[in-house]
């Protein structure tokens, strides 16, 4: 898609990124040069919504691992409820999910288990930076040292003096009650681990000193946003120090910090987490195949299928810095012995690079066992589920629910159909079914050479398979054609950007408010040859990522754009104004 | 399972208690603690009333599910024939309706949401109000370690019909091993232990919680209204936790039937019907012991989801797919495979009821002191019908409910059973439900006058 602001952007560079975002928004009304010259400081106040996110289960585990070690982290099941998938991402559900009383009790149980291990004989010498004067008594100094440092890491910002005093008091009181310094310390740590400051990632904003009418994330909130986007983990010591020094609020400091994080080996974890979420791989936590129909598919097979795809993605996007679109056509992947039976290929121990045959039917993510098996029934394939997943996961299109009053009687006639295509053909005889099935089935049927476990098959029930199909006007004859049509789909890049920005800012994008900004990211993505690290860098360094959107500025921008703010926005403005008065 | 045996005079009363130090209690700890009627402990404390839910997916095959006869001694058509042994303990409710009014009929969603919350949802993501178990737990669940417990036989942590609000679902226990560890691991106090020593850590935890709440209150000021509400909910959870800590400082009342079970093996994932049944029975046994040990008085068991994907080995359609794609056999008058899945569900419902009935408490059973409310999501799933949605109850709620009855609702709201359940549990409400699902009419036929 050609954006009229491309030329502006090319000359503006990152330093003027925030100007460009606004300029893009105003594109319908003014020319490039006019817009830049007419931008005022007020109009630059455009950012992302402030959010309060619950840690995800992986983020909880990663936080504990980062502060206290992987052995302790892996000994406790993260006490985090399942998220509602929101706009395609579990991560976007974290900004809305509530915590029930029962969940709080699970959080306490996990906290008690972690705290007890941190102070036990095996760990205390490594994890506690001092020894008490007497093990049987309180030692405020030593307790303060431990609490100050671990609290800073857990809360992702320094503890206030009053908070530190309170926690040391708890440790001292507990040590007196239990006659044990370490028990006291563990109870203070428990209190930290059940604190909302740990469990929730809270965006906190402040007035930008050089632009008093704008609100930016405070340095520690920005550090958290960066590290959870890029590493799926809390800020490390260096990032916290950069936040403390104010470096993240300078262009140079922020750029250095982002570049360091992008260059870290930990980027892999962030990329894995994002794609695991995007591809709804949480399904694998409860996925199973009928052992009678698919005897070679065990729980381990499915675990490896998930891992294969994540390895492929990380290698392609991070290690090779290749074109994102080529993920849908690449024959390069990784193979393990556990997967080899499903792929009908020899394999050695462990994981090794693997390339599908040049003339074979496998190419790209859509032909991975993970995609094929996760979007099938336990006993048979499902072209509808596969087509739906393709559209919703990679193209951000929404396939509607089936209508409630569907007459399924025509399906009964298809009971003896040999192939899925014949079965699904009956949907087209019913207008209320056809609407949705025509959206999903043509491309899903093109994957019918793979059964419900993702194994290749020439035929289904002895009948040959017609896998020719169509994806949004592109007709093709085979799987390679579908792969190519997906790779070149005009919505593919925009969808990735939509989801990645939502993932980084902790909630769904607003197509009304963010549309033009996202288009700006897409232009940059094209310029950068569809490389993910460059896209991550653009998002992380963008004005919107580090600034929060005030309701007043939204109204102002809308007025500029002659878009009338709806009543509910006005209500929110009033609510915010009232809150700020308080 | 170990059995506690030997019946002693109920007049032997154990004294002692107990804050602050070790307390010795003579053994054995049997129903010496009960009055002569077996309805209360010897100190006059009544045996607690419990509320449970149970759920299955995808309704019924009406022609072989709904008995011809109403009232007592109703016939058991073939789809519910497995209930023969427990018929005396339960009631079946048919011809009750769920009303969508101006909300859409959300396939496999509207039915269960209305029966559990009283309100028709407006979208699939919409979980209006709160579920009946949450309301009841707020009333009767404050004296136990867990306000309520939920478990699922599907092995999927996302499967729950219990929620506090739209975005706050009560997470079910999905693994037998994890469920066991939660019940009998850290924090478990054996009510029948011979000694009791209050844990000084608990007192510290209480005061630490106050500090946590006080400090975090400051956080709230920077949040918008919705996030503030979420944080308030978190504080409610912390206050609830404080109450639970308080309970841990007192010696729990002895519980005759409470026995610490052996740690179970965990099970593989999967929804093959036999595997689901095994998981259901393991979770049931744990749940019932949790109730018997008075760890909770509100308990939710989830046999299958609304889109039940239970499978039959060798049959190529999971349950949900079968409901839509399988033809009604003209000779039989129903869908044979679909019915097979429903029969498996009813077998598990029978197991559940029997397990509660077999658990002795006083002169009766756990079931006698419980009321279990069982619902599904559709009546005839093939057509996504919610008219005539079937329901069950089990237990007499401490002698307040007559059982063994088939009740014809005559097209009245299915919410009447939920309303009745809440009244039985002591909730002071005059009506329940929204719009056409509103009711102020208990199902009088089941109430002991």
ipTM for the predicted complex: 0.84
User: Is there a domain that residue A567 lies in?
Assistant: no
Q: How far is B316 from chain A (nearest CA, A)?
A: 5
- Residue A432: the pLDDT is 67
Name the residue among A52, A177, A290 with its Cβ closest to that of B203: A177
| Confidence at A571, pLDDT banded by 50, 70, 90 | very low
Residues in B touching A292 (Cβ below 8 Å) = 313-314
pLDDT for res B156: 94
Q: Please indicate, yes or no, if residue A555 is contained in any of the structural domains.
A: no
pLDDT of residue A483: 97
Nearest CA-CA distance, residue B61 and chain A, Å: 16
Query: Is residue A300 domain-shared with residue A439, that is, in the same domain?
Result: yes
Last residue of a domain, one of A439, A458, A487: A487
pLDDT at B255 over 90: no
Which of A60-64, A407-411, A477-481 has the lowest average pLDDT? A407-411
Is residue A254 in some structural domain?
A: no
d(CA B65, CA B379): 10
**Percent of chain A whose pLDDT exceeds 90:** 70
* Per-residue model confidence (pLDDT) at position A290: 85
| Tally: H helices and E strands in chain B | 9, 14
pLDDT classification of A405: cutoffs 50, 70, 90: low
Average pLDDT over residues B19-33: 33
The shortest CB-CB distance from B186 to any of A112, A194, A409 is to A112
Q: Tell me the percentage of chain A whose pLDDT exceeds 70.
A: 82
Residue A408 binned pLDDT confidence (cut-offs 50, 70, 90): low
Nearest to B200 among A178, A293, A576 (CB): A178
Asked if A217 reaches chain B (Cβ–Cβ under 8 Å), the answer is: no
Buried b (16+ CB within 10 A) or exposed e, A165-185: ebbbbbbbbbbbbbebbbbbb
> Does the distance separating the beta carbons of B158 and A82 come in below 8 Å?
yes
Q: Determine which of A278-287, A548-557, B102-111, B291-300 has the lowest per-residue pLDDT on average.
A: A548-557
By C-alpha distance, the chain B residue nearest A297 is B270
A contacts of B204 (beta carbons < 8 Å): 170, 173-174, 177-178, 184, 187
Spatial contact of A480 and A441, defined as CB atoms under 8 Å apart: no
**Lowest-confidence range among A409-418, A558-567, B159-168?**
A558-567
Lowest average pLDDT, out of A240-249, B28-37, B277-286, B394-403, goes to B28-37
Least confident of B111-125, B251-265, B409-423: B251-265
Contact B225, A575 (CB under 8 A): yes
Rounded to the nearest 10°, the torsion over CA A235, A239, A244, A246 is: -130
Provide the number of structural domains found in chain A.
2
A545 assigned to some structural domain: no
Question: Chain B contact for A202, CB < 8 A?
Answer: yes
Residue A582's closest chain B neighbor by CA?
A: B221
More reliable by pLDDT, A200 or B5:
A200
Q: Is the bond into A524 cis (omega within 30 degrees of 0)?
A: no
How long is chain A? 582
Q: For residues B72-95, give the mean pLDDT.
A: 98
Please check whether residue B405 is in contact with residue B89, taking contact to mean a CB–CB distance below 8 angstroms: no
Asked whether the beta carbons of residue B237 and residue A401 sit closer than 8 angstroms, the reply is: no
Contact between B313 and A112 using a beta-carbon 8 Å cutoff: no
Task: Report d(CA B188, CA B199) in Å as an integer.
Answer: 12
**CB-CB: which of A184, A299, A582 is closest to B221?**
A582
Same domain for A358 and A463: yes
Q: Which helix (H) or strand (E) holds B180?
A: helix B176-184
Q: What is the pLDDT of residues B182-225, one digit of tens each?
A: 999 888 889 988 888 888 888 889 888 888 887 777 777 778 88
Band of pLDDT at residue B43, cut at 50, 70 and 90: low
pLDDT band at A414 (very low <50, low <70, confident <90, very high): low
Percent of all residues in chain B with a pLDDT value above 90, rounded to a whole number = 66
Give pLDDT, residue B275. 96
- The whole domain housing A442 covers 296-313+322-487
| B324 closest CB neighbour out of A163, A202, A411 | A411
Q: Residue A263 domain-assigned? A: no
Q: How far apart are CA A313 and CA A307, in angstroms?
A: 10
Q: How many residues does chain B have?
A: 449
- A284 lies in some domain: no
Shortest Cα distance, chain B CAs vs residue A431, angstroms: 16
**A406, B236: Cβ pair inside 8 Å?**
no
Confidence of residue A298 (pLDDT cuts 50, 70, 90): very high
H runs (alpha helix) in A232-391: 237-244, 251-263, 267-278, 299-313, 337-343, 369-374, 383-389
How many C-beta atoms lie closer than 10 Å to residue B33's C-beta? 23
pLDDT, residue B449, reads 82
A271 lies in a domain? no
| A416 CA: distance to closest CA in chain B (Å) | 11
* Chain B residues touching residue A423 (CB < 8 angstroms): 325
Say which residue, A209 or A192, is predicted with more confidence: A192
Q: Do A404 and B384 lie within an 8 Å CB cutoff?
A: yes
Kindly report the average pLDDT of chain B as a whole number.
87
Amino acid A407: pLDDT? 63
Predicted confidence band of residue A466 (pLDDT cuts 50, 70, 90): confident
Minimal Cα distance from B158: which residue of A? A82
Which residue do the tokens 């609490």 mark? A147
Residue-level pLDDT at A443: 85
pLDDT at A438: 74
What is the pLDDT at residue B313?
Answer: 87
Give the Cα separation of A449 and A447 in Å (integer): 5
Q: Stretch B51-70: mean pLDDT, rounded?
A: 98
Same domain, A197 and A302: no
Indicate the residue among A155, A183, A201 that finishes a domain: A201
Å between A101 CA and nearest CA of chain B: 4
Which one of A201, A236, A256 terminates a domain?
Answer: A201
Average pLDDT for residues B332-355, to the nearest whole number?
97
**Nearest partner of A280 among A201, A373, A360, judged by Cα:** A373
Q: Would an 8 Å CB–CB cutoff place A303 in contact with chain B?
A: no
Q: Is the pLDDT assigned to residue A376 strictly greater than 90? A: yes
For A410, the closest chain B residue by CA position comes to B325
* Chain B contacts in chain A segment 113-152 (CB below 8 A): 113
Read off the pLDDT of each residue in A441-465 and give the average, rounded to a whole number.
Answer: 87
Residue A580 pLDDT exceeds 60: no
From B14, B49, B51, select the one nearest B29 (Cα to Cα).
B14
The residue among A469, A447, A286 whose CA lies nearest residue A381 is A447
Question: d(Cα A445, Cα B381) in Å, to the nearest integer?
Answer: 26
* Confidence at B39, pLDDT banded by 50, 70, 90: low
Confidence at residue B11, expressed as pLDDT on a 0 to 100 scale: 23
Q: Nearest to residue A372, comparing CAs of A359, A390, A396, A347?
A: A390
Does the pLDDT value for residue B4 go beyond 70?
Answer: no
Cβ–Cβ below 8 Å for B201 and A200: no
- Residues A3-6: contacts with CB under 8 Å, at least 24 apart: A3/A27, A3/A519, A3/A520, A3/A522, A3/A523, A4/A32, A5/A32, A5/A520, A5/A523, A6/A523, A6/A527
pLDDT of residue B409: 97
Q: What share of chain B is helix, strand, coil (3-state, %, to 5)?
A: 35, 15, 50
The CA distance from A576 to the nearest CA of chain B, in Å, is: 7
How close does chain A come to B271, measured CA to CA in Å? 7
Across the interface, whether the CB atoms of B234 and A582 are under 8 A apart is answered: no
Choose among A104, A378, A414: nearest Cβ to B237: A104
Is residue A558 included in any domain, yes or no?
no
Q: Are residues A169 and A302 in the same domain?
A: no
């Amino acid at each position: 898609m050609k954006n009229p602001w491309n030329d502006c952007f090319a000359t503006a560079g990152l330093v003027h990124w925030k100007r460009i975002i606004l300029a893009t928004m105003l594109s319908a009304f003014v020319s490039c040069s006019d817009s830049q010259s007419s931008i005022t400081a007020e109009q630059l106040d455009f950012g992302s919504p402030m959010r309060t996110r619950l840690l995800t289960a992986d983020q909880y585990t990663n936080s504990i691992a980062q502060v206290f070690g992987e052995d302790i982290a892996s000994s406790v099941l993260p006490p985090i409820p399942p998220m509602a998938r929101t706009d395609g991402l579990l991560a976007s559900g974290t900004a809305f999910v509530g915590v029930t009383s029962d969940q709080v009790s699970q959080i306490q149980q996990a906290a008690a288990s972690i705290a007890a291990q941190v102070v036990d004989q095996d760990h205390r010498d490594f994890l506690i930076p001092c020894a008490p004067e007497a093990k049987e008594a309180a030692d405020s100094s030593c307790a303060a040292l431990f609490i100050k440092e671990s609290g800073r890491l857990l809360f992702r910002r320094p503890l206030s003096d009053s908070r530190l005093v309170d926690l040391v008091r708890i440790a001292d009181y507990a040590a007196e009650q239990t006659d044990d310094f370490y028990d006291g310390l563990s109870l203070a740590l428990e209190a930290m681990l059940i604190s909302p400051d740990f469990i929730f990632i809270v965006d906190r904003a402040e007035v930008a000193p050089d632009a008093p009418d704008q609100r930016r994330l405070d340095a520690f909130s920005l550090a958290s946003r960066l590290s959870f986007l890029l590493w799926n983990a809390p800020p490390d010591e260096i990032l916290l120090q950069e936040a403390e020094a104010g470096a993240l609020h300078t262009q140079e400091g922020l750029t250095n910090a982002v570049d360091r994080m992008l260059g870290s080996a930990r980027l892999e974890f962030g990329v894995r987490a994002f794609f695991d979420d995007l591809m709804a791989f949480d399904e694998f936590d409860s996925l199973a195949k009928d052992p009678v129909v698919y005897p070679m598919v065990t729980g381990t097979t499915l675990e490896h299928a998930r891992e294969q795809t994540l390895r492929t993605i990380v290698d392609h996007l991070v290690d090779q810095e290749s074109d994102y679109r080529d993920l849908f056509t690449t024959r390069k992947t990784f193979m393990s012995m556990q997967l080899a039976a499903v792929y009908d290929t020899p394999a050695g121990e462990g994981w090794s690079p693997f390339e599908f045959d040049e003339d074979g039917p496998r190419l790209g993510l859509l032909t991975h066992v993970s995609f094929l098996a996760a979007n099938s029934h336990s006993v048979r394939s499902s072209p509808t589920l596969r087509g739906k997943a393709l559209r919703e996961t990679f193209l951000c299109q929404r396939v509607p629910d089936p209508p409630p009053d569907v007459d399924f009687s025509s399906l009964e006639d298809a009971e003896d159909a040999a192939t899925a295509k014949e079965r699904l053909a009956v949907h087209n005889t019913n207008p209320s079914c056809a609407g949705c099935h025509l959206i999903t089935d043509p491309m899903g049927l093109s994957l019918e050479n793979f059964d419900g476990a993702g194994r290749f098959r020439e035929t289904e029930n002895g009948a040959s398979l017609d896998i020719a199909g169509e994806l949004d006007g592109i007709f093709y004859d085979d799987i390679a054609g579908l792969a190519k049509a997906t790779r070149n789909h005009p919505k593919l890049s925009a969808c990735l950007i939509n989801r990645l920005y939502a993932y980084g800012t902790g909630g769904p994008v607003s197509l009304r408010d963010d549309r033009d900004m996202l288009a700006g990211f897409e232009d940059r993505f094209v310029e950068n040859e569809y490389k993910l690290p460059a896209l991550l860098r653009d998002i992380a360094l963008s004005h919107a990522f580090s600034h929060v959107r005030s309701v007043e500025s939204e109204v102002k921008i809308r007025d500029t754009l002659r878009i009338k703010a709806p009543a509910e926005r006005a209500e929110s403005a009033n609510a915010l104004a009232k809150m700020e008065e308080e | 399972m170990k059995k506690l045996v030997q019946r002693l005079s109920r007049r032997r009363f154990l004294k002692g208690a107990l804050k602050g130090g070790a307390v010795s209690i003579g053994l054995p700890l049997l129903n010496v603690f009960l009055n002569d009627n077996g309805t209360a402990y010897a100190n006059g404390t009544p045996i607690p009333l419990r509320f449970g839910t149970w759920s299955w997916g995808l309704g019924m095959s009406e022609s072989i599910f709904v008995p011809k006869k109403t009232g007592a001694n109703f016939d058991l058509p073939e789809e519910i024939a497995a209930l023969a042994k427990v018929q005396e303990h339960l009631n079946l409710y048919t011809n009750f309706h769920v009303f969508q009014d101006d909300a859409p009929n959300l396939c496999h969603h509207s039915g269960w949401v209305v029966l559990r919350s009283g309100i028709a949802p407006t979208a699939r993501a919409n979980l209006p109000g709160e579920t009946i178990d949450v309301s009841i737990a707020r009333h009767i669940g404050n004296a136990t370690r867990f306000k309520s417990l939920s478990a699922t036989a599907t092995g999927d942590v996302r499967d729950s019909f219990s929620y506090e609000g739209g975005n706050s679902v009560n997470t079910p226990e999905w693994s037998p091993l994890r469920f066991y560890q939660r019940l009998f691991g850290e924090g478990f106090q054996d009510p029948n232990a011979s000694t009791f020593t209050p844990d000084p850590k608990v007192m510290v935890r209480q005061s630490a919680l106050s500090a946590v709440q006080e400090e975090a209150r400051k956080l709230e000021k920077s949040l918008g209204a919705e996030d503030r509400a979420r944080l308030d909910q978190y504080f409610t959870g912390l206050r609830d936790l404080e109450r639970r800590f308080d309970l841990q400082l007192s010696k729990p009342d002895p519980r005759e039937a409470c026995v610490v079970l052996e740690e179970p093996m965990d099970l593989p994932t999967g929804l093959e019907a036999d595997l689901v049944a095994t998981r259901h029975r393991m979770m049931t046994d744990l749940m019932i012991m949790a109730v018997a040990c008075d760890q909770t008085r509100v308990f939710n068991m989830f046999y299958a989801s609304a889109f039940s994907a239970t499978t039959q080995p060798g049959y190529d359609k999971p349950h949900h797919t079968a409901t839509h794609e399988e033809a009604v056999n003209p000779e039989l008058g129903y869908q044979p495979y679909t019915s097979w899945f429903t029969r498996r569900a009813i077998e598990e419902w029978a197991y559940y009821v029997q397990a509660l009935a077999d658990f002795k408490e006083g002169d009766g059973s756990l079931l006698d002191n419980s009321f279990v409310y069982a619902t599904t999501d559709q009546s005839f799933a093939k057509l996504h019908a919610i008219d005539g949605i079937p329901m069950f109850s089990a237990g007499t709620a401490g002698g307040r409910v007559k059982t063994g009855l088939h009740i014809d609702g005559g097209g009245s709201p299915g919410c009447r059973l939920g309303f009745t359940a809440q009244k039985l549990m002591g909730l002071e409400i005059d009506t329940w439900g929204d719009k056409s699902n509103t009711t102020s009419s208990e199902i009088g036929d089941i109430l002991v006058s």
